[in-house]
């Protein structure tokens, strides 16, 4: 039977969810038919994916954006630290290094009586992972992309 030990400090359920997502992201399926060798390989792959780093670039364009929140690389994969830029100059770009299965996310927030226009984009190695546009009196939301690590 394959067992994954809980690394100190984090809750077991969160760790198992993270491990399962990491294994799924690498395309590895380990079951009883594969025996202990496949199980060991799956655990090794989870460790590799969780520790691998990747770089993304966030872009926000438009007008009347009040603030931009984004995952800047701190925190844990399932509980990333959110950084904020108030009253950003547009167009705004920021390149960050994320780790493992941490999703890339950028969330512009705009509210203006004259109307807003906001587009956000996340790129990795020149490829657009996601892009969203919003218009109107108030716009919130943003772009969230799955980690390209192991995918």
Structural domains of the chain, with CATH? 53-145 (2.60.60)
The structure tokens 């009196």 sit at: 137
Strands 79-86 and 65-76: antiparallel
Alpha carbon distances (Å) from 125 to 8, 55, 61, 129, 142? 34, 8, 20, 10, 20
Q: pTM above the 0.85 mark? A: no
| pLDDT level of residue 24 (50, 70, 90 thresholds) | very low
What proportion of the chain, given as a percentage, has pLDDT over 70? 63
Q: pLDDT digit string (tens) for 52-77?
A: 899 999 999 998 899 999 999 988 87
Encoded tokens for 129: 């992972």
Encoded tokens for 79: 């509980």
């Amino acid at each position: 039977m394959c067992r994954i030990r809980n690394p100190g400090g984090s809750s077991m359920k969160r760790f198992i969810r993270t491990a399962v997502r990491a294994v799924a992201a690498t395309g590895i399926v380990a079951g009883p038919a594969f025996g202990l060798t496949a199980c060991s390989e799956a655990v090794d792959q989870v460790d590799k994916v969780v520790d691998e780093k990747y770089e993304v670039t966030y872009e926000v364009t438009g007008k009347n954006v009040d603030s931009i929140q984004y995952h800047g690389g701190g925190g844990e994969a399932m509980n990333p630290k959110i950084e904020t830029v108030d009253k950003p100059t547009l167009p705004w770009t920021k390149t960050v290094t994320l780790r493992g299965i941490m999703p890339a996310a950028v969330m512009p927030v705009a509210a203006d009586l004259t109307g807003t226009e906001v587009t956000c984009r996340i790129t990795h190695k020149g490829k657009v992972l996601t892009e969203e546009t919003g218009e109107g009196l108030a716009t919130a939301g943003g772009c969230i992309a799955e980690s390209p690590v192991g995918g």
